[in-house]
């Protein structure tokens, strides 16, 4: 990993932020063609793209995975892994139930009733990655908040192998969640199928879940046709540390992010040059032990960095500029430092709160804003599966008390019928 001293940090930030560029026109045009094709030809297009991208020969009746296949996969999973899935499911559900918004109504003194009524979406699609690595945890993180919100129907799409096989742990997680609409489809064409609907794949109201650049681009282009959670880019972590931090912990956290993808980003920002040297040494020890060491090494070389800042305030300023997906605070007083953080998807306080505990276990969602979008996006939440309706109930007396002001507003905009709709009720 490259080391950047205080005077070099601004140049690093400019280079790093330049990777947050628009998706190439070539990728966008390719995805646009896929979406248009699926919209026009439905299942026939899905068959062709499954053969082209996944090397699998499917017929429309093969898209959906039957309950017996899912049940056999569930039975094949080791008992200890099933126990872990169940406990994680409970933790995630417990967290999201606490944050679920409630409908409310307010009775005003003039007799009017105002409020907000929440109702769940009817059908939601979960995209579960299965390319470089399968992510059953992403299924839990996408589906459980939807179930807590009261979504009636959940549809899963996930890539398959050339023989049509789907990762058994993903299927086992679906069984544990009680979801039986599972489709062996991946990539932009899977997203298009859920957004438009085909003869075999039902149309959904919202699509959530991470994916590669083609999946992310498809979601972005389809926003408005259906809802989406966010447009996610490569995964990223920043660790802010002082001289009290444990180098081995930091190195492990940086590598945990780097092994995702060559485009992933792992950055340490610290006030201690000695810590930087120690973390560099730990990475050299830990990296060769990883099965995905080539991916991790490429990520660290291209998008990693060890930054030496002049103060903790400067560390936090840099982090806020980058608005990371994950932020670890390995400092003496993390609860004090968190007050200086304004932009981050998930914040992990202290040396014993590694990112992995959030990825799998603690309860908060690991579907998080990336690429600096934590400045304006939030983690996936149960409320993302609800829609709010404003409720307005005026009595004759309440309307009459304010009719002249409303009429004045309407006429100022030249909308005479609006004004008439108020006046006619006063006659």
Model confidence over 97-116: pLDDT tens digits? Answer: 998 999 999 999 888 999 99
Q: Give the model's confidence band at 382: pLDDT under 50 very low, under 70 low, under 90 confident, else very high.
A: very high
**In the predicted structure, residue 21 carries a pLDDT above the cut 60:** no
DSSP state of 24: P
Q: How many Å apart are CA 82 and CA 398, to the nearest integer?
A: 58
Q: Give the model's confidence band at 282: pLDDT under 50 very low, under 70 low, under 90 confident, else very high.
A: very high
Please answer whether residues 247 and 275 qualify as being in contact, where contact means their C-beta atoms are separated by less than 8 angstroms.
yes
Residue extent(s) of CATH 3.40.50.1980 domains in the chain:
3-21+233-375, 42-102+117-228
Instruction: Check residue 20 and give its pLDDT.
Output: 58
**In the predicted structure, residue 78 carries a pLDDT above the cut 60:** yes
Rg of the chain on CA atoms, in Å: 25
**In the predicted structure, residue 16 carries a pLDDT above the cut 80:** no
Q: How many Å apart are CA 277 and CA 275, to the nearest integer?
A: 5
The whole model's pTM is what?
Answer: 0.91
- Cα atoms in the 13 Å half-sphere on the side-chain side of 290: 20
Question: For the residues 60-75, what does the mean pLDDT come to?
Answer: 95
**In the predicted structure, residue 167 carries a pLDDT above the cut 90:** yes
Count other Cβ atoms within 10 Å, centred on residue 6. Answer: 13
Helices (H) and strands (E) in the chain, counts: 17, 14
C-alpha distance from residue 25 to each of 29, 31, 216, 323 (Å) = 6, 10, 14, 26
Mean pLDDT of the chain: 94
Exposure string of 304-313, with b = 16+ CB inside 10 Å and e = fewer, is bbbbbbeebe
Question: For the residues 68-92, what does the mean pLDDT come to?
Answer: 96
SS3 label, residue 237: strand
Instruction: Check residue 131 and give its pLDDT.
Output: 62
Percent of the residues in the chain that have a pLDDT greater than 90, as a whole number:
85
Question: For the residues 16-27, what does the mean pLDDT come to?
Answer: 73
Catalytic (active site) residue 325: yes
Superfamily of domain 42-102+117-228: Nitrogenase molybdenum iron protein domain (3.40.50.1980)
Instruction: Check residue 132 and give its pLDDT.
Output: 61
Q: Of the residues 325, 330, 355, 366, which is catalytic?
A: 325
Please answer whether residues 255 and 287 qualify as being in contact, where contact means their C-beta atoms are separated by less than 8 angstroms.
yes
**In the predicted structure, residue 15 carries a pLDDT above the cut 80:** no
Q: How many Å apart are CA 71 and CA 355, to the nearest integer?
A: 31
Q: Indicate the angle between helix axes 293-303 and 247-258, nearest 10 degrees.
A: 100
**Between 21 and 168, the higher pLDDT residue:** 168
Partners of 324 in the β-ladder: none
**Between 38 and 262, the higher pLDDT residue:** 38
**Between 13 and 327, the higher pLDDT residue:** 327
Q: CATH topology for 3-21+233-375? A: Rossmann fold (3.40.50)
Do the bridges between strand 386-393 and strand 153-157 make them parallel or antiparallel, or are there none, so unpaired?
unpaired
Q: What is the pLDDT of residues 212-269, one digit of tens each?
A: 899 999 999 999 999 999 988 888 999 999 999 999 999 999 999 999 888 899 999 9
Q: How many Å apart are CA 36 and CA 116, to the nearest integer?
A: 37
Tokens found for residue 92: 């995630």
Q: Give the model's confidence band at 427: pLDDT under 50 very low, under 70 low, under 90 confident, else very high.
A: low
Q: How many Å apart are CA 99 and CA 103, to the nearest integer?
A: 13
Catalytic (active site) residue 326: yes
Question: For the residues 294-307, what does the mean pLDDT come to?
Answer: 94
Q: What is the pLDDT of residues 344-376, one digit of tens each?
A: 999 999 999 999 999 999 999 999 999 889 999
């Amino acid at each position: 990993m490259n080391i950047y001293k205080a005077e070099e940090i601004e140049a690093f930030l400019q280079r790093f932020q330049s990777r947050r560029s628009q998706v190439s026109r070539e990728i966008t045009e390719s995805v646009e063609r896929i979406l248009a094709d699926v919209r026009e030809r439905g299942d026939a297009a899905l068959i062709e793209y499954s053969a082209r991208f996944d090397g699998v020969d499917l017929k429309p009746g093969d898209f959906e995975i039957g309950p017996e296949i899912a049940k056999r996969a569930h039975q094949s999973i080791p008992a200890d892994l099933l126990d872990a899935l169940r406990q994680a499911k409970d933790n995630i559900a417990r967290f999201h139930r606490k944050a679920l918004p409630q409908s409310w109504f307010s009775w005003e003194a003039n007799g009017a009733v105002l409020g907000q009524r929440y109702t769940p979406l009817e059908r939601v699609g979960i995209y579960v990655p299965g390319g470089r690595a399968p992510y059953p945890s992403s299924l839990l993180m996408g589906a459980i908040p939807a179930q807590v919100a009261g979504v009636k129907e959940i549809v899963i799409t996930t890539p398959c192998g050339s023989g049509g096989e789907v990762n058994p742990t993903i299927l086992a997680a679906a069984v544990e969640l009680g979801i039986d609409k599972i489709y062996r489809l991946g990539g932009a064409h899977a997203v298009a199928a859920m957004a438009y609907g085909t003869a075999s794949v039902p149309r959904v109201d919202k699509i959530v879940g991470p994916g590669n650049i083609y999946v992310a681009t498809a979601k972005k282009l389809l926003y408005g046709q259906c809802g989406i959670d966010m447009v996610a880019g490569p995964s990223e972590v920043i660790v802010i540390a002082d001289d009290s931090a444990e180098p081995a912990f930091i190195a492990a956290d940086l590598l945990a992010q780097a092994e995702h993808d060559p485009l992933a980003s792992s950055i340490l920002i610290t006030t201690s040059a000695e810590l930087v040297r120690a973390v560099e040494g730990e990475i050299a020890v830990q990296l060769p032990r990883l099965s995905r060491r080539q991916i991790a090494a490429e990520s660290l070389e291209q998008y990693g960095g060890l930054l030496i800042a002049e103060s903790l305030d400067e560390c936090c300023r840099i982090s806020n500029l980058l608005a990371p997906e994950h932020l670890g605070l390995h400092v003496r007083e993390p609860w004090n430092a968190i007050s200086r953080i304004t932009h981050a998807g998930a914040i992990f306080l202290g040396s014993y709160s590694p990112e992995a505990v959030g990825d799998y276990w603690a309860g908060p969602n690991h579907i998080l804003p990336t690429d600096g979008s934590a400045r304006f996006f939030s983690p996936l939440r149960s409320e993302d599966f609800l829609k709010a309706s404003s409720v307005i109930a005026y009595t004759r007396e309440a309307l009459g008390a304010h009719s002249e002001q409303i009429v004045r507003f309407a006429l100022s905009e030249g909308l005479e019928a609006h004004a008439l709709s108020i006046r006619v009720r006063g006659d």
